[in-house]
Amino acid sequence: MALCQKLVSQAQGRFLPERLSPLKTKAKFGPSPSRRAQRLLCPRQRRPPVGAAGARPAPEGSGWPEGTSSSSGQRDGSRARPGRGTTGLSVKAPMEMWSTSSTEQFYRIPEGKGPHSVGCTDLMTENAVEGSFLRLYYPACDATDIEEARWIPDKEYYQGLSDFLNLYRVVGERLFHYYVGSVTCPAKSNAAFKPGEKYPLLVFSHGLGAFRTIYSAICIEMASQGFIVAAVEHRDESASATYYCKRRSVSESQEETTPTMEKEWIYYRKLKTGEEERCLRHKQVQQRAQECIKALNLILKISSGEEVTNVLHSNFDWNSLKDSVDTSRIAVMGHSFGGATVIESLSKEMRFRCGIALDVWMLPVGEDIYQNSIQQPLLFINSEKFQWAENILKIKKLISNDTNKKMITIKGSVHQSFPDFTFVSGGIIARFFKLKGEIDPNEAIDISNHASLAFLQKHLSLKKDFDRWDPLVDGIGPNVIPGTNIDTSPADPE
């Protein structure tokens, strides 16, 4: 236990021997006291969280080119030749974020900036894997006496993240519990829904290795601005961990003391030896799109006044959602693998009037999508450091000459500028996993959220003031550019 605590302290930057304080070592989680500790933390090849984080190639592949990130924003597998790659974008007023001071620093997921208080609750239907599972964020009545929701609600999610990161579970679980176990998201758990108007609906899809709670900064901001947000937890084995509830078989002597329901956990599925990733991811994205459509149908069913059984037995009043959804104003949004899910969902469901893909990973998208195109408006918001030429060319192919499809890039941002880990990680862990870019994480998420809101106002015909951020949708403003920073021009012949 002492060793684990020491490693945790190192990960937080609180255990830094004076001779190592400049951090000139390449140890796994900060300065490592021994080879044994290195093996304990990283028994296999390191894997950063993808979708929940992730800027390095996964051992079994994540659809990314081989190689690591470069300072130019190109990836080593993007076939950019020396002298042809784009230079790093200049970021205005970068944040000082890599302090290794031993002083304890407080990290927190940002609150919503809109006029509404925000509540959240979890909903799971049916006692089987085929049911829906989501976290609902919504405009709530003011309630100062209600606690905020836990950010990561079960220890099994720590275990799933450990598996995904290729850490021993015993180490990963203790590390996550110690480091983020007390983190809450700034939404009141099961707070009363705020009635009185019909709200637009936004369905959100998480990235590879993530789960329903990891994008709370985005979902809470949208709810504070007057959206109902259904953050789906996918059961296609792309989440680090998820579960469904099943009925327990008990003897008569146990009936009064044993719960009748138990959680059946589903963990991230790694690629098998020799398995083609494209086939697996395309199959998964099909299921993910269906789960987004199921979530849409479920929320509309509740809004119509139909009774829905929540097997999680929360004290939230689902009847308060009757007539709460504006059925003509529905959109879908997602990050990374969730961005591919957005594209697939738009192709299957016209009730999604538009979509927003955050730093999309295009590998899972089927060729039929390019042939049939997407009719609805679509906004691509990319980070500077994640994208590569092949991926960008696929995005451009989908955009074609459609003026309702846009692409912008946030200067100084990384793939992990969208999930919550960027806000709750200290300097050493943030640097190791590339959880923060050169831009202040709060500024990066504000740019993304403001561009999203302006895009949603235009294409959902909202009567709001989000149009003040219209220039961002065209890539105009501080720390944002139109299109991409990646050079996609053909290489000169040798």
Whose CA is closest to 415, among 57, 95, 28? 57
* DSSP state at residue 112: P
- Which amino acid makes up residue 169? R
How far does Cα 445 stand from its chain's mean position?
12
Name the residue with tokens 């990235």: 207
3-state secondary structure of 392: helix
Residue 479 phi, psi (nearest 5): 60, 30
Please check whether residue 73 is in contact with residue 84, taking contact to mean a CB–CB distance below 8 angstroms: no
| CA gap 48, 161 in Å, rounded | 10
- Which amino acid makes up residue 31? P
Where does residue 276 rank: exposed (0-12), middle (13-18), buried (19+ CB within 10 A)? exposed
- Which amino acid makes up residue 66? E
**Which 3-state string (H, E, C) describes 256-293?**
CCCCCEEEEEEECCCCCCCCCHHHHHHHHHHHHHHHHH
Which residues contact residue 462 at a Cβ distance below 8 angstroms, ignoring those fewer than 6 apart?
Answer: 200, 329, 456
| CA gap 312, 122 in Å, rounded | 8
| CA gap 50, 62 in Å, rounded | 8
Q: What Rg, from alpha-carbon coordinates, does the chain have?
A: 22
Please check whether residue 488 is in contact with residue 393, taking contact to mean a CB–CB distance below 8 angstroms: yes
**Catalytic site positions:** 336, 359, 415
